Amino acid sequence: MIKVKRIYEDPATTDGQRILVDRLWPRGIKKETAKIDLWAKDLTPPHELISWFHEDKDNRFKEFEKKYRTYLKDNKNKASDIIDKRKKITLVTAVKDRDHSHIPTLLKFLQSL
């Protein structure tokens, strides 16, 4: 089971393994209080892709998803190493608009492993 939580929400014992899936550490959050088990930078979109997407979010989202899926497929071994289907996993992120970010694509990809 994989769920998603914003890093600004309190950690819970039901979270299981907490994996930060943002390339940059979230502002205002201390590493000691975040209770992050793993920071999966390699599974986040590369800087160039994020920059390209942010130039025109409204018109580039579908293409962003496609490019990010390709990136994830190319890094499938890294994802497989992280995901243990026997454990509860919480993907932790700072993004405000999860539906229009890398989170839905990453979640679908990880669930398909």
pLDDT band at 86, cuts 50/70/90? low
Residue 2 CA, chain-centre distance (Å), reads 11
Q: What proportion of the chain, given as a percentage, has pLDDT over 90?
A: 80
* Mean of pLDDT values over 39-54: 94
Dihedral angle computed from the Cα positions of residues 90, 71, 66 and 99, in that order, rounded to the nearest 10 degrees:
20
Q: Is residue 83 over pLDDT 80? A: no
**3-class SS of residue 97:** coil
Integer CA distances (angstroms), 28 to 20, 70, 101, in order: 15, 32, 21
* Mean of pLDDT values over 67-80: 89
C-alpha 41/C-alpha 43 separation (Å) is 5
Mean pLDDT of the chain: 92
